[in-house]
Amino acid sequence: SNDIREGNEIVFAKVSTLIYLFDVSRRKADQFASDLSLLEASVAALRLHSPNARLFILLHKFDLLQGTE
């Protein structure tokens, strides 16, 4: 979201741990691209404002994927 990109110094300053939840049930390409873009912006802001922070990425609803998805 633009809030993350525009106010990232306030949001990401003094962060010790960031837990990012990826909802893998969002299968449409545009939704995935949007989620990935937000993750990339979040990681970039985290590295800039809290370079020692730990990052965890969780895959939510991973068990719902079938076969080659």
As a whole number of angstroms, the distance between CA 29 and CA 18 comes to: 25
The residues, ordered by sequence, that sit 6+ positions from 46 with a Cβ below 8 Å of its Cβ are 12, 15, 18, 53, 55
Predicted model pTM: 0.71
| Residues 12/45, Cβ–Cβ less than 8 Å | yes
> Higher pLDDT residue, 43 or 34?
43
CA 65 vs. chain centroid, Å, equals: 20
At residue 22 the predicted structure's pLDDT band, cuts being 50, 70 and 90, is: confident
Arithmetic mean of pLDDT over the chain: 79
